[in-house]
């Protein structure tokens, strides 16, 4: 397998690159971050999927493209989300066609179907909503639809929807949560719904399984698949476990779902008026995610892809706790003995 990974320097991308190398693939990585630390045996290229020429050159000669690059987050310039997530995906599709790439695995998200209500055990037949509270899920949904509609004899496509990635090396959600914990700015929502999450290595494995099935001609083309642990846990028990792994106590201050939503609307409005582009402490989309159940039926992924999580939720949380314990030990000043 000759594979290109867009967003190969990201949290999922790095794990996907490592797994592909372990599987014996020839790997090329395209990422906009110049600080990428190359892994041995990987053809690293600094570039952006929104640049058509760069994308076309990167895809040339590949058997499969894993399109993991995206603009994430719950707030920001709407036009930028469309430019990266929709326009970038259009460039990926065009590059595959121009370069004769026959297989495309797209990293999607369960957020594409989030309608602000509880999602309990839903499968892939659940429809896209008519309205989105943020540009990220909206643009990812548009991109997913483009990818699945492009499936055909010359380019076989599949979408993988990993939910709430976690694991050692998270450079997105967990660091922001811990930054807030350090200054005591996490409040519990006064409802505690069941969720399912996904260890990053399980998500990477699902992508490789999907590519293998596409290349074998299995009937997975044009389909989307939910990927998660298959182990439900309450939202705040999970957050408490993440904080405990990093050495922080569970938050005790609370707020209602309604207040969280109002706070998100207030922050979003103020940030737009002032012109602040960074993500506010609360958004309407985040308030909805924290206040609702979201866990999914994984039957299709198990049946069609042969997906079975290699790392359990307990193992993943234990790995995080060991990692943070080792970090604290390294940061501890050396003890000096006096005689």
CATH code assigned at 88: 3.40.50.720
Q: What percent of the chain has pLDDT over 70?
A: 96
Contact in structure between 256 and 189 (CB atoms under 8 Å)? yes
pLDDT score of 329: 86
Average pLDDT over residues 325-338: 70
pLDDT of residue 339: 39
Decide if pLDDT at 189 tops 90.
yes
Q: Structurally, how many domains does the chain consist of?
A: 1
Phi, psi angle pair for 332, to nearest 5°: -70, 135
| 81-85, 91-95, 175-179, 270-274: segment of lowest average pLDDT | 175-179
CA distance 116 to 133: 8
Residue 88 lies in a domain: yes
- pLDDT the model gives residue 334: 54
Distance (Å, rounded) from C-alpha 138 to C-alpha 319?
Answer: 33
User: Could you give the C-alpha distances from 302 to 210, 211, 305, 314, 317, in angstroms and in order?
Assistant: 11, 15, 6, 20, 23
Q: What is the mean pLDDT of residues 283-303?
A: 96
pLDDT given at position 63: 95
Residue 277 lies in a domain: no
Q: Write out pLDDT tens, residues 96-125.
A: 999 999 999 999 999 999 999 999 999 999
Specify if 85 maps to a domain.
yes
* C-alpha closest to that of 6 among 61, 35, 45, 38: 45
Helix axes 135-149, 88-99, angle to 10 degrees: 20
- The one catalytic residue among 81, 136, 225, 307: 136
**Which of 34-38, 143-147, 278-282, 319-323 has the least mean pLDDT?**
34-38
Catalytic site residue 44?
no
What range defines the domain where residue 213 resides?
2-170+196-228+295-312
Largest CA distance in the chain: 78
Q: Could you give the CA distance from residue 182 to residue 170 in angstroms, rounded to a whole number? A: 17
Q: pTM for the full model? A: 0.94
Residue 70 lies in a domain: yes
pLDDT band of 337, cuts 50, 70, 90: very low
Does residue 47 fall inside a structural domain?
yes
Q: List the alpha helices (DSSP H) in the chain.
A: 11-22, 52-59, 78-81, 88-99, 135-149, 173-182, 200-215, 235-245, 257-274, 284-291, 299-300, 313-331
Q: Which residues contact 214 (CB under 8 A, 6 or more apart)?
A: 64, 103, 105, 156, 157, 158, 220, 221
**For residue 157, what are the β-bridge partners?**
104
CA 199: distance to chain centroid? 10
pLDDT of amino acid 36: 56
Mean pLDDT over 187-209 rounds to: 96
Q: Report the pLDDT value the prediction gives residue 172, as an integer from 0 to 100.
A: 83
Q: State the pLDDT confidence band at 330, using cuts at 50, 70 and 90.
A: confident
Whether 129 is covered by a domain: the verdict is yes
CB 5 within 8 A of CB 27: yes
Tell me the pLDDT band of 278, cut-offs 50, 70 and 90: confident
Q: Kindly report, residue by residue over 7-45, the tens digit of the pLDDT.
A: 998 999 999 999 999 999 999 999 987 555 567 788 999
Residue appearing with tokens 């600094």:
46
- Helix 284-291 vs helix 257-274: crossing angle, to nearest 10: 160
Task: Output DSSP code: residue 292.
Answer: S
Tell me the pLDDT of the chain averaged across its residues.
93
């Amino acid at each position: 397998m000759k594979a290109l990974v867009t967003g190969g320097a990201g949290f999922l991308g790095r794990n996907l690159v490592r797994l592909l190398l372990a599987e014996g693939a020839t790997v090329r990585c395209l990422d906009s971050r110049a600080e990428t630390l190359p892994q041995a045996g990987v053809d690293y290229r600094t570039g952006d999927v929104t640049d058509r020429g760069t994308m076309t050159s990167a895809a040339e000669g590949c058997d499969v493209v894993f399109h993991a690059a995206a603009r994430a987050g719950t707030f920001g310039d709407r036009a930028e989300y469309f430019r990266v997530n929709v326009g970038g995906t259009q460039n990926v599709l065009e590059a595959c066609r121009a370069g004769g790439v026959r297989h495309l695995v797209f990293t999607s998200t369960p957020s594409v179907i989030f309608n602000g209500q509880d999602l309990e055990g839903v499968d892939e037949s659940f429809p896209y909503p008519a309205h989105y509270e943020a540009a990220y899920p909206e643009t990812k949904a548009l991109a997913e639809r483009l990818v699945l509609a492009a499936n055909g004899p010359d380019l076989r496509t599949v979408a993988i929807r990993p939910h709430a990635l976690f694991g050692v090396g998270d450079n997105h959600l967990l660091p922001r949560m811990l930054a807030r914990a350090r200054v005591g700015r996490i409040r519990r929502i006064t409802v505690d719904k069941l969720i399912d999450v996904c260890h990053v290595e399980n998500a990477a494995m699902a992508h490789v399984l999907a590519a293998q099935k596409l290349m074998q001609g299995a009937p997975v083309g044009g389909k989307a698949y939910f990927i998660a642990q298959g182990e439900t846990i309450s939202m705040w028990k999970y957050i408490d476990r993440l904080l405990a792994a990093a050495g922080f106590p569970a938050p005790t201050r609370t707020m209602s779902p309604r207040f969280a939503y109002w706070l998100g609307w207030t922050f979003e409005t103020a940030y737009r008026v002032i012109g602040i582009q960074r993500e506010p402490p609360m958004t309407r989309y985040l308030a909805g995610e924290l206040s609702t159940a979201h866990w999914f039926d994984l039957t299709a992924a198990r049946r069609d892809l042969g997906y079975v999580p290699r790392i359990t939720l307990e193992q993943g949380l234990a790995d995080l706790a060991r990692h943070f314990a080792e970090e604290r030990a390294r940061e501890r000043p050396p003890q000096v003995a006096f005689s």
